[in-house]
């Protein structure tokens, strides 16, 4: 059960960061720019990720692991977006 919780925690952390990045005005990937209302999805995935990490590692270590993987993914997606060479859509408004 611990391996499953760790896998679910890692996957939902990454998907949460992707959904929050796709919903922001700074998203450079055209395929993701139509996910404007993905903020609620990103927050729901973050909550489920926290639950999975805490289930696997306990309260303190689970919170640290969730925040670490979440923030690493949140830094990775804008970096990967800059590698594509596309600009953010200037007509898109920030929510």
- Whole-angstrom CA distances from 27 to 5, 41, 76, 93 are 29, 16, 12, 12
Average pLDDT over residues 36-64: 91
| C-alpha–C-alpha distance, residues 14 and 8, integer Å | 10
Task: Look up the pTM and report it.
Answer: 0.82
CA distance 54 to 35: 29
Q: By mean pLDDT, which of 17-21, 36-40, 86-90 is the weakest?
A: 86-90
Q: Return the SS3 of 91.
A: coil
Give the pLDDT score at 89: 57
């Amino acid at each position: 059960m611990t391996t499953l919780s760790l896998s679910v925690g890692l996957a939902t952390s990454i998907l949460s960061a992707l959904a929050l990045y796709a919903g922001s005005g700074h998203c450079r990937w055209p395929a993701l720019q139509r996910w404007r209302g993905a903020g609620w999805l990103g927050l729901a995935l973050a909550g489920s990720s926290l639950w999975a990490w805490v289930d696997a590692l306990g309260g303190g270590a689970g919170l640290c692991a969730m925040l670490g993987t979440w923030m690493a993914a949140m830094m990775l997606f804008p970096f990967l977006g800059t590698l594509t060479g596309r600009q953010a859509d200037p007509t898109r408004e920030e929510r």
